Amino acid sequence: MKTVKYIRVVLSVAVLALLATVIALGGGDEAAHYLLTVDVAMFSLGACIAWLIITLLLGRVYCSTVCPMGVLQDIAAWLAKRLGHRGKGFYRFQPGDWRLRGIIALLVIISATGDSRTRDVALYSDPYSLVVMSSGWYVGLLGMLAALMITVAIMVIAWRTGRTFCNTICPVGTALGAVSQFSLMQLDINPDLCVGCGACEQECKSSCVNAMQHTIDHSRCVMCMNCAAVCPNDAIKYRVGKHRLTTPLLRRATTATGMAKQEP
């Protein structure tokens, strides 16, 4: 799975470089038709439906390879590790909070459909718009500075806590997360192979791996593949469905204690 992670990283950096070039050449509007934005002026229903279908099939690959804000956060988290701000084993599982995500997403939707003043609230919480506005492409100096400050703040949060913005505030992430929890392909921990080292949980910048219970919150998983890449026993696979324990006694015990959800 290490190779898959490296391919994902190379792809994400290439997409970010391509997008930066397109925006610098004045093509931010055209790029918006292939990406997700809550900006009503640039929103594309076709792109939205296409990405929801892709997410339903593959999980939140958008958040690991295509979203410019996601890649910037990954760079910040990677730098924090490289520069010694955090060592190995920094992250811990945290239960997700759908209420907070839902309320923020609802507020953004209401703002996006309001007048020009309320639409600004939506714009400054939208990852694509923030990146485009940070380049100063279609806002004045003040707008550019505000977008830049928010983008830097998101990167500081990523430096300190990983993908907190993605799984708390980002309205696009909330929409994709609502779909990805039911996605066809998902990362799955094989309890038969797991040796309980906890490395996957400690490397998950979405804090969505519960190594003890062998579960992953797929609504928050951004498909970075970090967990699978660090697993010493290759116990984490990207697959359709969940692995069934091979030992019937162990299967009954874990089901009874709620340690692992099994197929019927």
* Residue written as token pair 């696979």: 237
Residues lying near ligand SF4 in the complex (CB under 6 A) are found at: 63, 67, 69-70, 127, 166, 170, 172-173, 187, 189, 194-200, 203-204, 206, 208-209, 211, 216, 221-227, 230-233, 235-236
**Shortest gap between Cβ of 209 and ligand SF4 (angstroms)?**
5
**Shortest gap between Cβ of 235 and ligand SF4 (angstroms)?**
4
**Shortest gap between Cβ of 178 and ligand SF4 (angstroms)?**
12
Report the residue number, 95 or 117, with the smaller CB distance to ligand SF4.
Answer: 95
Report the residue number, 139 or 200, with the smaller CB distance to ligand SF4.
Answer: 200
Report the residue number, 139 or 218, with the smaller CB distance to ligand SF4.
Answer: 218
Quote the distance between the C-alpha of residue 249 and its chain's center: 36
Report the residue number, 68 or 139, with the smaller CB distance to ligand SF4.
Answer: 68
Residues 6+ apart with CB under 8 A from 9: 74
**Shortest gap between Cβ of 91 and ligand SF4 (angstroms)?**
8
